[in-house]
Amino acid sequence: MHFTLELYSRFLRATVTPRRYQHSTDVMNVMADLSAIYTLDTTQAMTAGLLHDAARDLPFADLLRLAHEAHLVLVHPSEEHPIYLHAPVGAYLVGKELGVCDNAVTEAIAAHSHVDPPGGSDGVLLHCLRVADVLAPIREWKGMKRLESMVYLGCLEEAALLHAGWLLEHFEQEGIPIHPHLVDTVQRLSAKLSVTESFFERW
């Protein structure tokens, strides 16, 4: 495992910025913690964490080229935005360049930007990856301590909902197009957990 992660790390150093590389290793470490809490395969969890942003710093032209090469079908217009597109392209890239063929890992990487089909966001590995992506941040989010406490106490669905709700709010503020699957995740988990608007308060 250590040799494989070393190989992956060398690839990442050549593919992403130093800041993104540090973020990726931090996400990997959070995923190692969460694998013990949620009985995930530690190797799968750490691999998904380390490689989740493999395509995040590629130029937009390269993202589109790789999406075409991978025969990705872009259904919603927002999927051409790098914040969404980097995830499925990254899954393809690590398969092509590193031989990562574990479906659990590549599917979690591909879906972590919320481009997965509605109703397909309930996997524990995927929920953990999305939350770990925020707990090992490139920038701090107000409310992060609340999210951290929630996920480390074993309340994964609540943490996934909190993350998705805050992400939706952030995208709206930044003028980033909203993917309908993100809205679906918030609505579906809100209904399942019977939460009110006050649930999303930051503190």
Residue 11: is its pLDDT beyond 70? yes
pTM: 0.92
How many Å apart are CA 147 and CA 78, to the nearest integer? Answer: 27
How many Å apart are CA 103 and CA 119, to the nearest integer? Answer: 18
In this prediction, residue 112 carries a pLDDT of 94
In this prediction, residue 5 carries a pLDDT of 82
The model's pLDDT over 166-178, given as tens digits with 9 standing for 90+, comes to 999 999 999 999 9
Cα-Cα-Cα-Cα dihedral sign, residues 191, 103, 59, 141? positive
Backbone angles phi, psi at 195, to 5 degrees: -100, 160
Query: In terms of residue numbers, what domain contains 76?
Result: 2-200
The model's pLDDT over 53-112, given as tens digits with 9 standing for 90+, comes to 999 999 999 999 999 999 998 888 899 999 999 999 999 999 999 999 999 999 999 999
Q: How many CA atoms lie within 13 A of 172 on its CB side?
A: 9
Residue type at position 72: L
Q: How many CA atoms lie within 13 A of 64 on its CB side?
A: 5
CATH number at residue 97: 1.10.3210.10
How many folded domains does the chain comprise? 1
In this prediction, residue 145 carries a pLDDT of 87
Mean of the per-residue pLDDT values of the chain? 91
In this prediction, residue 186 carries a pLDDT of 92
Residue 153: is its pLDDT beyond 60? yes
Residue 41: is its pLDDT beyond 70? yes
In this prediction, residue 129 carries a pLDDT of 96
Decide: 82 and 108 in contact? Cβ < 8 Å.
Answer: no
